[in-house]
């Protein structure tokens, strides 16, 4: 089980540090679940420091494929490793939809981050329109195969199934819908699959109890230490 908190563009260094200190206390004694937080770039150093010698991993929200170069606005795996960051999300639907990231870019990011020793959470998921027109499996197949072609079933690779219509909308996939999509993804690539999309303390236990759900990528509910810790606890007992 892995629970990762995607903070998106929230929490500057001071707020992030205070949150990390609080979360650390709340997760003491919680076992059987790996936990990662994904702060914005400028808060990474503060969070790494606040979580020093704790079990909570610090991941970035995106990472470039080159070691260095003329790539304005991008950050390389080596730069993040130097800070003490040990992994990254890639291919979040907000990156794909708002910033035009293609399957090929996502796959390149995943491959080089894994080669650099990073843990990678690679996101896939269909839009509402695609689900309603019966294209969910086709979309997942294209997205997962791009990642698997580039990175294979790498041992540090985790997939996150995040139906786009469930992200930040309060609409969660039913446990059955999640199970069906996760089982389909695992049939394409034999790696753990996290569920993401409006995960909250109230629905976490039921989602986590599905056979093919191996954890969660949490957005909104990861910004509050109480609700994020409650989701981690739900995962530790399911
Ligand atoms: P949400 O976001 O939990 O706020 O729906 C999930 C995500 O975007 O990773």
Q: Does 160 sit in the ligand 1 pocket, CB within 6 Å?
A: no
Which one of the listed residues 92, 94, 126, 154 is annotated catalytic?
92
Q: Whose CA is nearest to atom 6 of ligand 1?
A: 219
User: For 46-81, what is each residue's pLDDT tens digit?
Assistant: 999 999 999 999 999 999 999 999 999 999 999 999
Among 2, 5, 6, the mutation site with the greatest number of ligand 1 atoms within 8 A of its Cβ is 6
154 catalytic residue (yes or no) = no
- The pLDDT value recorded for residue 237 is 82
- The C-alpha torsion from 25 through 118 and 163 to 152, rounded to 10°, is -140
User: For 142-196, what is each residue's pLDDT tens digit?
Assistant: 999 999 999 999 999 999 999 999 998 888 889 999 999 999 999 999 999 999 9
Q: Does residue 141 surpass a pLDDT of 90?
A: yes
pTM: 0.97
94 catalytic residue (yes or no) = no
User: For 214-237, what is each residue's pLDDT tens digit?
Assistant: 999 999 999 999 999 999 999 998
Contact, 221 vs 8, CB < 8 A?
A: no
Q: Does 162 sit in the ligand 1 pocket, CB within 6 Å?
A: yes
Q: How many other CB atoms are there within 10 angstroms of residue 182's CB atom?
A: 24
């Amino acid at each position: 089980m892995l629970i990762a908190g995607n903070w998106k563009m929230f929490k500057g260094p001071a707020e992030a540090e205070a949150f990390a200190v609080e979360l650390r206390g709340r997760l003491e004694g919680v076992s059987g679940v790996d936990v990662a937080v994904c702060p914005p770039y400028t808060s990474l150093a503060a969070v790494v420091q606040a979580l020093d010698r704790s079990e909570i991993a610090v991941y970035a929200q995106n990472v470039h494929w080159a070691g260095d170069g003329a790539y304005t606005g991008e950050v390389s795996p080596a730069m993040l490793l130097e800070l003490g960051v040990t992994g990254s999300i890639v291919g979040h639907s907000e990156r794909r939809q708002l910033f035009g990231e293609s399957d090929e870019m996502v796959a390149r990011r995943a491959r080089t981050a894994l080669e650099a020793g990073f843990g990678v959470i690679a996101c896939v998921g269909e839009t509402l329109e695609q689900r309603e027109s019966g294209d969910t499996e086709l979309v997942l197949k294209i997205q997962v195969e791009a990642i698997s072609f580039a990175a294979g079933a790498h041992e540090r690779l985790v997939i996150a199934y995040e139906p786009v219509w469930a992200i930040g909308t309060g609409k969660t996939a039913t446990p059955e819908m999640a199970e069906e999509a996760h089982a389909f993804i695992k049939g394409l690539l034999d790696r753990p699959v996290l569920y993401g999309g409006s995960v909250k303390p109230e629905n976490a236990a039921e989602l986590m109890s599905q056979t093919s759900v191996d954890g969660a990528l949490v957005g909104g509910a990861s910004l509050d230490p109480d609700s994020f810790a409650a989701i981690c606890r739900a995962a530790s007992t399911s």
